[in-house]
Amino acid sequence: MRSRFNIVLFVSALSALAAAAQPGAVQTPSVTVLGAQEVRGILGRDVRSTANENMGRIVDVLVDGAGRVRAAVIDFGGFLGVGSRKIAVDWKALHFVPEAGKQYAVVLELTRDQVKPAPEYKEDKPIVVLGASGNLETLP
Partner 1 sequence: MTENCTPSPPRPSQRSLRRLDWFVFLVADVQTGFGPFIAVYLTTQKWTQVEIGLVMTVAGLVSLAGQMPGGALVDAARSERTVAAVAVSMIALSALVYALFPIFPAVLAAAILHAAASCVLGPSIAAISLGLVGHARIGERFGRNARFAAIGSGLSAAAMGAFGYFFSAQSVFLVTAALLAPTLLVLRGMAADEINPDRAHGNAPNQKSDRSPAALLGLLNNRSLKVFGACILLFHLANAAMLPLMGSVLTMRSSQWATVLIGACIVGPQLVVALFSPWVGRQAEHLGRRPLLIAGFAALPVRGLLFATVTDPYLLVVVQLLDGLTAAVFSVMVPLTVADLTRGTGRFNLVQGTIGTMMGVGASLSPTLAGYLSDTFGSPAAFLGLAATAAVGLVTVWLLMPETRPAKPTGG
Interface ranges with partner 1 (CB under 8 A): 1-2, 41, 43-44, 57, 59-60, 75-85, 111-113, 115-117, 120, 122, 125, 138-139
Nearest distance from C-beta of residue 127 to partner 1, angstroms: 14
The nearer residue to partner 1, 48 or 85, going by C-beta atoms, is 85
Q: Which of 64, 113, 65 is nearest to 90 (CA)?
A: 64
Give the helix/strand (H/E) hosting 86: strand 85-90
d(CA 89, CA 84): 15
Compute the least distance from the CB of residue 66 to partner 1, in Å. Answer: 23
- Residue 121 or 129: the one with the smaller Cβ distance to partner 1 is 121
User: Whole-angstrom distance between the N-terminal and C-terminal Cα of the chain?
Assistant: 47
